[in-house]
Amino acid sequence: MDKIDFFKNLDFTEYESKILNSLLILNNASPKQLSAHSTVPQNKLYNILKKFINLGITALIPGEPHKYKLVNLQTYIEDKIKEKENLLSIIKKDSKKIKEPVDSEEFSFSLIKSQRAIMNKLAENNPKVKKEIFGVQGSWKLWAKGLREMQNTIKKGVKVRAIGIIDKETKKRALEWKKVGCNIRIWNKKFGDYPLRFTVFDGKWARITFGKPEIADSKDYITFWTNSKSLIQMLKREFEVLWKECKVF
């Protein structure tokens, strides 16, 4: 464990964290010793030590020269952790009150960058679907939130159909999606080695994602998210043709 980073996580500054770390190592030390060990300039040191004394975590040892030592540090850390836990609890509670704007019926088009961002978007969007989800997958990416939300969506009666590449690399991942209730078919390579990745939700919204092999880094993946009726109809027709020509997994 990096003690300096630990103290910084408790809201101490870089200099403060270095001094605390030095006091732990040296047990007790004069300002000159502390400055040399921690590399904190002496003109910064005295104000920090004064702050520590006011916090009740440092005591002054009388004598020549004056020395300082840590006191009640563990109690301070425990109190600080409780404070952060309480704050996190409040943030979690308040986060449930934050709602994204309801999707408009007017034409909408947006770009989402990175694989992680689109994964989060899909996991948040799937619970809103009422009737069906269908589309073409690439690598059958697995993430716990996505699987959980998809399973819950299917349990509500939503019909989910997916086509994707099934090979030695992707088979196990595809099986996990099948286990949660997805109806899966194997991509027919007569249509090409790399399928266009898209998903349609209730015939109202669609996404098209561009990633590997065109884009190597997942952080640079691009997804189009739209409610274009003409595009959705085109994707639906394309999917139904593919579905008939692909074998059941």
| Distance separating alpha carbons of residues 164 and 138, to the nearest angstrom | 6
Q: Is the pLDDT of residue 164 over 90?
A: yes
Domain ranges of the chain: 3-95, 109-248
CATH class name, domain 3-95:
mainly alpha
State whether residue 247 is helix, strand or coil. Answer: strand
Q: What is the CATH number of domain 109-248?
A: 3.30.870.10
User: Could you identify the residue written with the tokens 């408009």?
Assistant: 104
C-beta of residue 225 within 8 angstroms of C-beta of residue 245 = no
The C-alpha atoms of residue 92 and residue 85 are separated, in whole angstroms, by 10
Residue 104's pLDDT band, with cuts at 50, 70 and 90, is low
Q: What's the confidence (pLDDT) of residue 48?
A: 94
Per the structure block, which two tokens stand in for 86? 């309480």
Long-range contacts of 22-30 (CB under 8 A, 24+ apart): 23/58, 23/68, 23/69, 23/70, 24/70, 27/69, 28/61, 28/67, 28/68, 28/69, 29/67, 29/68, 29/69, 30/65, 30/66, 30/67, 30/68
Render pLDDT for 114-152 as a digit per residue (tens, 0 to 9): 988 988 888 888 888 999 999 998 888 888 888 898 999
Q: For position 1, what pLDDT does the model report? A: 64
pLDDT-derived band at 197, boundaries 50, 70, 90: very high
Higher pLDDT, 101 or 226: 226
**Cβ contacts of residue 17 below 8 Å, gap of 6+?**
3, 4, 5, 6, 7, 8
Cα separation, 83 vs 77, whole angstroms: 10
What was the pLDDT predicted at 139?
83
pLDDT digits (tens, 9 = 90+) for 36-70: 999 999 899 999 999 999 999 999 888 888 899 99
Domain 3-95 and domain 109-248 have a common topology: no
pLDDT tens digits, 231-249: 999 999 999 999 999 999 9
Smallest Cα–Cα separation from 11: which of 41, 51, 38? 51
Say if residues 162 and 184 touch (Cβ distance below 8 Å): yes
Tokens encoding 17: 């964290």
Residues 39, 48: Cα–Cα separation, whole Å = 14
Per residue in 2-26, pLDDT (tens digit) is 899 999 999 999 999 999 999 999 9
Q: Is the confidence at residue 103, as pLDDT, over 70?
A: no
Is the four-CA dihedral 33, 38, 39, 41 of positive or negative sign?
negative
Choose among 210, 199, 227: nearest CA to 109. 227
Q: What pLDDT was estimated at residue 66?
A: 86
